[in-house]
A and B are shown apart, each in its own frame.
Chain A
Amino acid sequence: MKQVNSLGGQDLREMFVAAAGWLEKSSSEIDALNVFPVPDGDTGTNMLLTMRSLVEEAYRAPDHSAAAVAQAMAKGALLGARGNSGVILSQILRGLAQGLTEKETFTAVELASALQQSAATAYSGLSNPVEGTMLTVIKDVAAAVQAQVSGGGDDLVLLMEAAVDAAGESVGNTPNLLQVLREAGVVDAGGQGLYTILEGALRYLRGEVEQMRFRKPQIIVGNVHATKLPEMIAADEDPYGYCTEFLLKGEKIDTDRIKKKLEKKGESLIVVGDEAAVRIHVHTLDPGEVLTYAADRGTMHQVSIRNMDEQHQDYLEMQKEKTPAVNIGIIAVVVGEGLTEVFTSLGASVVVPGGQTMNPSTKDLLQAVERVVSDKIIMLPNNKNIMATANQVQSLTEKTIAVVPTITIPQGVAALLAFDYEVNLETNTQLMQKAASVVKSIEITRAVRATQLGGLEIKKKQPIGFLDGDLVAVADSTDDVLDQVLVRLDLGKAEVVTIYGGADIEADEVEQMGSGLREKYPQLQIEVIQGGQPHYDYIVSVE
């Protein structure tokens, strides 16, 4: 492809025209991602409306210099900014315009430097910048383009490619930075919007305007799994109040003072602009107070007050179409960080801490039942001593509870995996019970005292092995115990062996045990996971 060394105002404008069109194609999908700061499902729409205003103004630029077009776009973005994401977008444009001041055209180096300015300006507009949002994305983009030009890259297409790649990666990482995204299993909506805008601009530079008509932007999939249903995300929060936003026009407006004053009036405050025009966005329980304060400082335009609790309801409706039609919740009793992660990442709605030496109470389980949104619940006790407690819960709740009698962690995992999204509670219970009964569970721990049991002579602290709950092996090392248990099994029919290392076992020890088994049984698929469970040095499943 031809190298592009410099771009003027017209190209800059066309990049954003293409970006707006590109964003339009996925704005509704971006709406559906929206959970932060308020799950009201309007980020995509807000960013699109801001982009439209920006593009409209771009055509009113006094000349075709990059500086004039950027200035006009920044003005358009500010005037038309809607919502949190729109206002931050307008800040990014404002930074860009500042970076391109007096430039007839711009080079890769100049664009990289302008994007630094964008990132800085975006952060400065917020009283309380939060990472894992579009702020992080623009910061990462700025760093990536800087690295690109520092390495001597002067092709603007390659620069934009670096920007898009960095944005994509950054968006994918947002759930790792922001808990509410992680729980909802989504990436940040504003970040996704920004990625789409940059991608649209890049496609224009590559000359792909024609192809764009028949394609759709990609929504980035974060490597996370939802642990909460959409209904639960807002459950513990206070009412959201009103999303209040308007443009304040006047003379010598002091943005810092307004920011300071309004900080106490609500959440998600953004005050951006210059002496003549300021855009104000705040989530407040009392919009009247905010408007009264602003009325003394200038004239108000485009005043918008929206009830966010209502918006949140609309958002929930929207989510219903998106999430799988699962109306069955799953509660598992598990202890250990790694094991908890295994269960939640496989779709358990709630994990109640508990196991061999700590049995949860009926009340603990009942609370978990109440936390799950579904009316139908499958419970995986994963321990013999918890079975009775689990069976009691039904008499204490109106919800329908089915207990799948899993008495080991491997049985619980097998049952959870076998959950079938297409069938009802009754059939699922049967399927899961069947799956649990097929798996072989090995648990290795240490004897708490010397004893004689089942014909085995056991010394205190000696490693001992259980097969499906029965004591069957004792030896001087855990490896030997595992060997003794394994020979009792018909491994010819087995396919997968999973080893969960306990809390007291180092990661490389678990790995070693895994490699040992791989060598011994090359036909088996051996998987090693740091389970972090107390009491059992190793839990092993054979399937």
Chain B
Amino acid sequence: MAVKIITDSLSDITGDLVKKLRINVVPLYVRFGEEVYRDRIEMTTDEFYRRLVTDTVFPSTTQPTPHDFLAIYQELAKETDEILVITLSSQLSGTYQSALQAKNLLEGKCRIEIVDSQTAGMGLGLIVISTVEAARKGASLGELVDFVQRAMGRSHLIAYFDTLKYLAKGGRIGKAQGFVGSVLSFKPILTIKDGVISPVTRLRSRAAGIDYLYNSVANYPDIEALAVEHCTTPDDAEALIERLGSFFPRERIYQSTISPVVGAHAGPGALAITVLEAEKA
């Protein structure tokens, strides 16, 4: 029996890709005041960003409950006895904890391994995609856990934010705290390092920020997969993908929208690029 793979909605793997990979994606929650929505299911990405900008209530985000995971474990346990769960960074969300708690609630002899990816967005998404391929080649559950851990070192997410306002408000600014409170305005470049939001550098304009994302891909000579995602600016993402075509086959670049759960912290206008380096032979 093949190992079944589960991730959460912060992997930014959506729509047809979910079906193609045959994985399960557990949604986090977005909350506006007392209204609670399941990420991307009960509220579309477009609708969310429209409200983020116009609504007076600042949205908050919540991890899936253990029962959300348990329901999927129980469903999958009918057809497999090995499940691999890859979650976003446990330092950004309690999703990993929920997945662990659910494991303890599951009866039966299905083996479950849960890995904290220490990243999010396509940083997580590309790890999952690569792991699915490894699973299809017949890797065992134990081998897959090792595979994920190695892939974590190969996955590099670099994000451009238009503003740090939302990140600071949401309390997840992590090590980029030093970027807050500047007299001079700038556009931050951030990454997720050891599971925490970390500063990279600062630029004066959006165009310079997007250039930085483009140039950072050149640092990696051997790329297995590449992803570009955006919150509210599909045209900018499209233009960036077009330019990246010079490094990497354009049609193989994954394109996605940043999950509203992340978007609540990133704010409108954010763009991110993820490089999954090829595994060294």
Partner-B contacts on A (CB < 8 A): 1, 185, 211, 214-216, 218-226, 322-324, 338, 341-342, 345-347, 413-414, 417-422, 431, 495-496, 498, 525, 527, 529, 543
A341 to B34, CA, bound (A): 41
Q: Which of B98, B184, B200 contacts A342 (CB 8 A)?
A: B184
* A418 B183 Cβ-Cβ under 8 A: no
Q: Compute how far the CA of A1 lies from the CA of B181 in the bound complex, rounded to whole angstroms.
A: 37
B149 contacts chain A at the CB level, 8 A cutoff: no
* Residue of A whose beta carbon sits closest to that of B175: A324
B183 engages A342 (CB within 8 Å): yes
B142 within 8 A of A: no
Give Cα A324–Cα B186 distance, bound, in whole angstroms.
19
Does B182 lie within 8 Å of A527, measured CB to CB?
no
Out of B65, B198, B207, which one reaches A214, CB within 8 Å?
A: B65
Contacts A221-B173, A342-B182, A419-B201 supplied; 5 other A-B pairs, CB < 8 Å: A324-B175, A324-B178, A418-B203, A498-B184, A527-B184
In this complex, which of A223, A322, A324, A418 has the most chain B Cβ atoms within 10 angstroms of its Cβ? A324
Distance between Cα atoms of A225 and B65 in the complex (Å): 36
**In the complex, what's the smallest C-beta–C-beta distance from B92 to chain A, in angstroms?**
11
User: Does residue B218 face the partner (Cβ distance < 8 Å to A)?
Assistant: no
The reply on B87 being an interface residue by CB < 8 A is no
CA distance A431 to B182 in the complex (A): 21
Inter-chain contact B198/A417, CB cutoff 8 Å: no
Please determine whether A345 and B201 come into contact, CB atoms closer than 8 angstroms: no
- Collect the chain B residues with CB atoms within 8 Å of residue A413's CB: 184
- Count: A-B pairs, CB below 8 Å: 93
Contacting pair A323 B173 (CB below 8 A): no
In the bound complex, what is the Cα–Cα distance between A419 and B178 (angstroms)?
A: 12
Is B18's beta carbon under 8 Å from chain A? no
Question: Interface size class for chain B?
Answer: 20 to 34
Query: Within the assembled complex, what's the spacing in Å between the Cα atoms of A420 and B60?
Result: 31
Q: What residues of A have a CB within 8 angstroms of the CB of B176 in the complex?
A: 324
Question: Once the chains bind, are A421 and B200 in contact (CB under 8 Å)?
Answer: yes
Which 3 residue pairs of A and B lie closest in terms of their CB atoms, listed nearest first?
Answer: A225-B181, A495-B205, A218-B171
With contacts A223-B181, A226-B178, A345-B182 known, is A543 near B204, CB below 8 A? yes
Take A221-B173, A422-B191 as given contacts and tell me if A345 and B204 are in contact as well, using a CB distance cutoff of 8 Å: no
Query: What residues of chain B lie closer than 8 Å to A324, measured between beta carbons?
Result: 175-176, 178, 198-199
Question: Is A214 a contact of B98 with CB atoms below 8 Å?
Answer: yes
Per-residue CB proximity of B242-272 to A under 8 Å, as 1/0? 0000000000000000000000000000000
Measured between beta carbons, the chain A residues less than 8 angstroms from B201 are 417-422, 431
A-B contact pairs, 13 of them (CB 8 A): A214-B65, A219-B171, A220-B171, A221-B168, A221-B177, A323-B175, A324-B176, A324-B199, A341-B183, A342-B182, A347-B178, A421-B199, A421-B200
B94 contacts chain A at the CB level, 8 A cutoff: yes
Residue among A221, A225, A414, A419 facing the most chain B CB atoms (10 A cut-off): A221
Chain B residues, Cβ within 8 Å of A495: 204-205, 207-208
B180 an interface residue at 8 Å Cβ cutoff?
A: yes
Q: Residues of A contacting B163 with CB < 8 Å?
A: none
User: Which B residues between 23 and 73 are near A, CB-CB below 8 angstroms?
Assistant: 34, 60, 62-63, 65
* Nearest residue, chain A, Cβ from B191: A422
Residues of B within 8 A of A215 (CB): 60, 62
Structural contact, B181 and A345, CB atoms closer than 8 A: yes
A491 smallest CB distance to B (angstroms): 14
Bound complex: CA A7 to CA B268 (Å): 42
B198 proximity list for chain A (CB < 8 A): 324, 421
CB distance from B33 to the nearest CB of A (A): 10
Separation of A421 and B182 alpha carbons in the complex (Å): 17
- Report Cα–Cα, A525/B168, bound state, in Å: 24
A208 CB, min distance to chain B CBs, angstroms? 10
* Binary flags per residue of B162-203, CB closer than 8 Å to A gives 1, else 0: 000000111101011110111111100001000000111111
Point out the residues of chain A lying under 8 angstroms from B94, CB to CB: 214, 216
Give the complex CA separation of A220 and B168 in angstroms.
8
| B186 touching A417, Cβ below 8 Å | yes
Q: In the complex, which residues of chain B have a beta carbon less than 8 angstroms from the beta carbon of A1?
A: 34
Asked whether, in the complex, the Cβ of B62 is within 8 Å of the Cβ of A345, the reply is no
Beyond A341-B183, A342-B183, A525-B205, whether A422 also contacts B175 by CB under 8 A is no
Minimum Cβ distance to chain A for residue B218 (Å): 14
CB proximity of B207 to chain A, nearest CB, Å: 6
In the bound complex, CA of A496 to CA of B170 (Å) = 29
Chain B residues with CB under 8 A of A218:
170-171
The answer for the CA separation of A529 and B191 in the assembled complex, in Å, is 29
A537 and B98 CA atoms in complex are apart in Å by 60
- A221 and B171: CB pair below 8 A? yes
Question: Across the two chains, which residue of chain A brings its CB closest to B201?
Answer: A420
Q: Which residues of A contact B183 (CB under 8 A)?
A: 338, 341-342, 345-346, 529
CB of B204 within 8 A of CB of A496, answer yes
B204 touches A185 (CB 8 A): no
Which residues of chain A come closer than 8 Å to B178, judged between CB atoms?
185, 225-226, 324, 347
Chain A nearest CB, measured from B219 CB (Å): 10
* A413–B65 alpha-carbon span in the complex (Å): 47
The residue among A346, A347, A421, A496 with the most chain B CB atoms within 10 A of its own CB is A421
Give the docked Cα–Cα distance between A421 and B188 (Å).
12
Q: Which of B34, B171, B182 contacts A225 (CB 8 A)?
A: B182
Q: How far is the CA of A1 from the CA of B34 in the complex (A)?
A: 10
Interface residues of B in 80-109 (CB under 8 A from A): 94, 98
Complex Cα–Cα for A83 and B171 (A): 26
Distance of A236 from chain B, by nearest CB (Å): 22
Q: Chain A residues near B170 (CB, 8 Å)?
A: 218
When the two chains form their complex, are residues A417 and B202 in contact, meaning their CB atoms are under 8 A apart? yes
The answer on a CB contact under 8 Å between B98 and A345 is: no
Cα of A458 to Cα of B169 in the assembled complex, Å: 53
Contact residues in B for A219 (Cβ distance below 8 Å)? 171
Chain A residues, Cβ within 8 Å of B200: 420-422
A225 nearest CB across to chain B (Å): 4
Contacts of B169 in A (CB 8 A): 221
CA distance A526 to B88 in the complex (A): 39
Expressed in whole angstroms, the Cα–Cα distance for A419 and B98 within the complex equals 38
How far does the Cβ of B173 sit from chain A's closest Cβ, in whole Å? Answer: 6
Complex alpha-carbon distance, A498 and B178, angstroms = 22
Distance A322 CA – B184 CA, assembled complex (angstroms): 25
- Write out the residue numbers on chain A whose beta carbons fall within 8 Å of the beta carbon of B34: 1
Q: How far is the CB of A522 from chain B (nearest CB, A)?
A: 15
Residue from A322, A414, A527 in contact with B185 in the complex, judged by beta carbons closer than 8 Å? A527
CB-CB under 8 A from B98, the residues of chain A are 214
Distance in angstroms between the alpha carbons of A224 and B199 in the assembled complex: 16
Bound Cα distance from A62 to B203, whole angstroms: 64
